[in-house]
Copies of this chain bind each other. A is one copy, B any other.
Amino acid sequence: MEPQPRRRGRPAGARAGETPTRERILAAARSVFAERGYDKTSIRAIAKAAEVDPALVHHYFGAKEQVFEAAIEVSFAPALNIADLLAGGLEDIGERFARYFLGVWERPMTRAPLLAVVRSAVTNETAAAVLRGFVLRALVSRVVGELDVPDARLRAELAASQMVGVALLRYVVRIEPLASADVEEIVAYVGPTLQRYLTAGPAAGTH
Interface residues of A (CB under 8 A from B): 37, 118-119, 121-123, 128, 131-132, 135-136, 140, 151, 153-155, 157-158, 160-166, 168-170, 172-178, 181-182, 184-190, 192-193, 196-197, 203-207
Copies of this chain assembled into the complex = 2
Docked complex Cα distance between A136 and B165 (Å) = 16
Which of B136, B161, B177, B182 makes the CB contact (< 8 A) with A176? B136
Closest 7 CB pairs of A and B: A165-B165, A161-B165, A188-B203, A157-B178, A164-B165, A188-B206, A161-B166
Q: Describe A's contact surface by its main secondary structure.
A: helix
Docked complex Cα distance between A37 and B188 (Å) = 36
What are 15 inter-chain pairs, A to B, with CB distance below 8 A?
Answer: A131-B173, A132-B173, A136-B175, A151-B185, A154-B178, A158-B189, A160-B175, A161-B162, A161-B166, A161-B168, A162-B162, A165-B165, A184-B207, A188-B207, A193-B193
Docked complex Cα distance between A170 and B128 (Å) = 12
Which of B121, B132, B177 makes the CB contact (< 8 A) with A154? B177
